[in-house]
C-alpha cells in the first residue's frame, strides 16, 4: 500500500510520465513484493481510473515465491550440479519422498544434514564464486559452516518473519558500507546523517512480518487480467534455485506458445527459455542470484527484448 501511494504521488507530481508503459521489476525477496505491488496497482486502477498507472507487466529474478516449491528446490539443485553424490540423492529421495522442506523422520533429517555439510563451504548466491570470509562481523559474511540450516531458515524467514540482523553469507559489503556511510553522500541524497543511523547490508532496525506463504495465486490473477510476466533465474544460484522456479511456473499449467529452447546473445547461448501464454520463464546460464550483477549483457538483452514485446 505504501509503495502504491508513493507511485500515485510520483505521477501526480510528474504527470508527463503517466502515459509511459509501467513495469514493476525486482529480484530475490522482490518475488514477494513485486507481484503484490502489481496487484495493488491493478486494484487501484479499477477503483479509481482517473489516477490509473499504465501497468503493463512485471519482471522477477530468482524470486522467493512459494515456500513448498522454494523449499523443495535445494536437493534437486545441488544434486543436479554434482555437489552431492548420486547415492546420497537417491537415499534422500527415498527417505524424504520429495518433501525436503517439511522433512520428517530421523533418517531424512540425518541425510539432509549430510547434504548440508557437503555444500557448507559454498557461496550460497553463486556456487562457482568464492565465499568471502573477512576478519570481522561488520565486513564479512558468515565463516564457512553448515549452510544447510541457514538455507532452509532463509526461505522460512522469507515466508514468515524476516531475520534482518544476520550477516549475509559470503558477501563482502565493506565497500558499500564505506561509501554509503559518508556524511557528504547522506547530504546529497537528503538522508539522515551517519551519527543518527548507519547503513548495513542487513539491519535489525525494522521488524517485518510477511503475510504470504505463496504468491502463485497473485501471478494467476495478474495473468487473468492480461498482464505480461517474465520470470528469470540465474542457474547457479543456491539461494533461490532455478529448480523451484521452473517447477512453480510449470505448475500454472498455462498453454505453451514456444517450447524450451536456447536464447542467444552475441551468437552465444545465454540460457534457456520457455514461453507460455502471458508468461515467459528464462534461465541465465552461469548467473548467480542477482543476474544484472553477474551477467550484465545478458540481463540488458532479455530486459530490452521483453519491454519491446519481442521473444527472447
Number of other CB atoms surrounding residue 112 within 10 Å: 21
Answer yes or no: are the C-beta atoms of 233 and 283 closer than 8 Å: yes
Backbone φ and ψ for 217, nearest 5 degrees, come out as: -60, -30
Please tell me the distance from the alpha carbon of residue 170 to that of residue 153, in angstroms, as a whole number: 16
Confidence of residue 121 (pLDDT cuts 50, 70, 90): confident
Tell me, yes or no, whether 312 lies in a domain.
Answer: no
| pLDDT of amino acid 162 | 41
| pLDDT of amino acid 137 | 38
Evaluate if residue 134 carries a pLDDT over 60: no
Domain boundary among 213, 248, 273: 213
For residue 117, the number of C-alpha atoms closer than 13 Å in the C-beta half-sphere is 8
Tell me, yes or no, whether 134 lies in a domain.
Answer: yes
Residues 197 and 86 in one domain: yes
Please tell me the distance from the alpha carbon of residue 282 to that of residue 300, in angstroms, as a whole number: 14
Domain boundary among 194, 213, 232: 213
Q: What is the DSSP letter of 161?
A: B
Tell me, yes or no, whether 170 lies in a domain.
Answer: yes
Instruction: Give the domain CATH number at 277.
Output: 3.40.50.1820
| 230-264 pLDDT per residue, tens | 999 999 999 999 999 999 999 999 999 999 999 99
| 164-207 pLDDT per residue, tens | 445 677 778 888 889 999 999 999 999 999 999 888 887 777 77
Please tell me the distance from the alpha carbon of residue 70 to that of residue 111, in angstroms, as a whole number: 19
- Domain of 46? 2-66+215-307
Evaluate if residue 33 carries a pLDDT over 80: yes
Plot region of 271 (φ>0 → left; ψ -120 to 50 → alpha; else → beta): left
- Active-site residue set: 28, 237, 289
Residues 186 and 72 in one domain: yes
| pLDDT of amino acid 203 | 73
Number of other CB atoms surrounding residue 169 within 10 Å: 24
Could you tell me whether strands 279-284 and 228-234 are parallel, antiparallel, or unpaired per DSSP bridges?
A: parallel
Domain boundary among 169, 186, 213: 213
Answer yes or no: are the C-beta atoms of 298 and 280 closer than 8 Å: no
Confidence of residue 1 (pLDDT cuts 50, 70, 90): confident
| 77-103 pLDDT per residue, tens | 999 999 999 999 999 999 998 888 887
| 140-158 pLDDT per residue, tens | 333 333 344 444 454 444 4
Residues 157 and 251 in one domain: no
| pLDDT of amino acid 148 | 42
Answer yes or no: are the C-beta atoms of 213 and 66 closer than 8 Å: yes
Residues 207 and 82 in one domain: yes
| pLDDT of amino acid 138 | 36
Amino acid at each position: 500500500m505504501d509503495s502504491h501511494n508513493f507511485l500515485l504521488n510520483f505521477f501526480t507530481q510528474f504527470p508527463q510520465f503517466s502515459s509511459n508503459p509501467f513495469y514493476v521489476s525486482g529480484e530475490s525477496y522482490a518475488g514477494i513484493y513485486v507481484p503484490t505491488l502489481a496487484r495493488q496497482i491493478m486494484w487501484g486502477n479499477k477503483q479509481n481510473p482517473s489516477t490509473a498507472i499504465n501497468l503493463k507487466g512485471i519482471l522477477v529474478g530468482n524470486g522467493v515465491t512459494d515456500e513448498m516449491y522454494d523449499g523443495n528446490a535445494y536437493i534437486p539443485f545441488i544434486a543436479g550440479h554434482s555437489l552431492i553424490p548420486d547415492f546420497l540423492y537417491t537415499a534422500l529421495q527415498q527417505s524424504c519422498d520429495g518433501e525436503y522442506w517439511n522433512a520428517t523422520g530421523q533418517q531424512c533429517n540425518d541425510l539432509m544434514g549430510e547434504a548440508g555439510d557437503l555444500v557448507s563451504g559454498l557461496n550460497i548466491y553463486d556456487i562457482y564464486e568464492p565465499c568471502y570470509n573477512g576478519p570481522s562481523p561488520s565486513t564479512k559474511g558468515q565463516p564457512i559452516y553448515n549452510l544447510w540450516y541457514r538455507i532452509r531458515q532463509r526461505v522460512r524467514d522469507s515466508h514468515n518473519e524476516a531475520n534482518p540482523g544476520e550477516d549475509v553469507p559470503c558477501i563482502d559489503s565493506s565497500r558499500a558500507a564505506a561509501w554509503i556511510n559518508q556524511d557528504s553522500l547522506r547530504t546529497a541524497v537528503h538522508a539522515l546523517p551517519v551519527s543518527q543511523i548507519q547503513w548495513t547490508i542487513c539491519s535489525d532496525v525494522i521488524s517485518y512480518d510477511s503475510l504470504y506463504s505463496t504468491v502463485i495465486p497473485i501471478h494467476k490473477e495478474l495473468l487473468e487480467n492480461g498482464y505480461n510476466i517474465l520470470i528469470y533465474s540465474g542457474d547457479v544460484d543456491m539461494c533461490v534455485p532455478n529448480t523451484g522456479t521452473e517447477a512453480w511456473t510449470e505448475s500454472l499449467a498455462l498453454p505453451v506458445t514456444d517450447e524450451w529452447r536456447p536464447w542467444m546473445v552475441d551468437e552465444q547461448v545465454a540460457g534457456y527459455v520457455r514461453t507460455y501464454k502471458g508468461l515467459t520463464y528464462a534461465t541465465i546460464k552461469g548467473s548467480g542470484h542477482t543476474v544484472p550483477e553477474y551477467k550484465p549483457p545478458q540481463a540488458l538483452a532479455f530486459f530490452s527484448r521483453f519491454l519491446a514485446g519481442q521473444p527472447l
